[in-house]
Structure 1
Amino acid sequence: MTQQTAPDHGTQSRYRHHGCRCEVCVDANRAYHRNRAAAIKAGAWQPYVDAEPVRQHILLLQEEGFSVSRIARLSGGSDWDIQRFIRACKGRGRKRNTTEALAARILAIKPGEMTPAMVSAIGSNRRIEALCALGWPVSHTAAHMGWSHKNLHRIRQQQVVRIDSAQAVSAAYEGLRAKRPARNGVGQGASNRVRNMARARNWAPPKYWDERPGAIDDPYFTSEYGLTKADRNAEEARWLVTTAGLPRTEVAARLGMTFGEVDEALAYAAAA
Structure 2
Amino acid sequence: MTQQTAPDHGTQSRYRHHGCRCEVCVDANRAYFRARSAAIKAGTWQPYVDAEPVRQHILHLQEEGFSISRIARLSGGSDWDIQRFIRAGKGRGRKRNTTEALAARILAVKPGEMTPAMVNAIGSNRRIEALCALGWPVSHTAAHMGWSHKNLHRIRQQLVVRAESAQAVSAAYDELQTKRPARYGVGKSASNRARNMAKARNWAPPKYWDRFPGAIDDPHFTPEYGMTKPQRLAEEAVWLVTVAGVPRTDAAARLGLTFAEVDDALAFAAAA
Mapped contact 1:119–1:163 kept (Cα < 8 A):
yes
* Separation of aligned partners in 2, 1:192 and 1:268: 32
Relative to structure 1, the CA distance from residue 179 to residue 116 in structure 2 (aligned partners, 3 Å threshold; closer, same or farther) is same
Which structure 2 residues correspond to residues 1-272 of structure 1 after superposition, within 5 A? 114-255=114-255, 257-258=256-257, 260=258, 262-267=259-264, 270=267
| 2:173 aligned partner, one-letter code | Y
State the structure with more CA Rg: 1
* Residue type of the alignment partner of 1:263: A
| Letter in structure 2 aligned against 1:206 | P
Measured after TM superposition, the shift of residue 268 of structure 1 is 5.5
Give the superposition deviation at 1:245: 4.5
For 1:226 and 1:114, how far apart are their aligned partners in 2?
Answer: 35
Q: Contact 2:237/2:265 (CA < 8 Å) preserved in 1?
A: no
**Cα RMSD after superposing both structures:** 1.9
- Distance of aligned partners of 1:270 and 1:196 in 2 relative to their CA distance in 1, 3 Å threshold: farther
1:242–1:215 CA distance, 2 compared to 1 (3 A):
closer
Q: 1 CA distance for matches of 2:114 and 2:172? A: 24
Distance 2:245 2:263 in 1: 14
Cα displacement string for residues 180-237 of structure 1 (whole angstroms, at most 9, x for unaligned residues): 1122111111111110110111100000011111101111111111111100111222
CA distance in 2, matches of 1:114, 1:242: 34
For residues 243 and 187 of structure 1, the distance between their equivalents in structure 2, rounded to whole angstroms, comes to 44
Shift of the 248–198 alpha-carbon distance from structure 1 to 2, 3 Å rule, reads same
Moved over 4 A (4+): 242-245, 268-272
Residue identity matched to 1:145: M
Local SS of the residue matching 1:182: helix
Q: Which stretch shows the higher mean deviation, 137-146 or 188-197?
A: 188-197
**Contact between 2:235 and 2:265, CA under 8 Å: does it hold in 1?**
no
What is the DSSP-based 3-state SS (H/G/I as helix, E as strand, rest coil) of the residue aligned with 2:161?
strand
Contact 1:231–1:269 (CA<8 Å) still a contact in 2?
Answer: no
Q: Could you say which residue in structure 2 is the equivalent of 1:79?
A: none
Deviations 1:91-126 (A, max 9, x none): xxxxxxxxxxxxxxxxxxxxxx83211111111111
Separation of aligned partners in 1, 2:177 and 2:114: 30
> Per chain length, whose mean CA-contact separation is higher, i.e. which structure has more relative contact order (CA < 8 Å, sep 6+)?
2
The percent of aligned pairs where both chains have the same amino acid is 76
SS at structure 2 position matched to 1:119? strand
- C-alpha distance in structure 1 between counterparts of 2:212 and 2:172, whole Å: 20
Q: What is the one-letter code of the residue matched to 2:264?
A: A
Q: Distance in 2 between matches of 1:164 and 1:211?
A: 26
C-alpha contact 1:238 1:266 (8 A) present in aligned 2? no
Say how many residue pairs are matched. 157
Q: Which amino acid aligns with 2:130?
A: A
Q: CA deviation at 1:239?
A: 3.2
Quote the offset at 1:271 in angstroms.
Answer: 5.5
Q: Do the aligned residues in 1 keep the contact of 2:238 with 2:265 (CA within 8 Å)?
A: no
- Aligned residues of 2:234 and 2:265 also touching (Cα < 8 A): yes
Q: Secondary structure at the match of 1:147?
A: coil
Gaps of 5+ in 1: 1-112
> Given that residues 127 and 173 in structure 1 are in contact (C-alpha distance below 8 angstroms), is that contact kept between their aligned partners in structure 2?
yes
1:242 Cα offset (Å): 4.4
SS in 2 for 1:183: helix
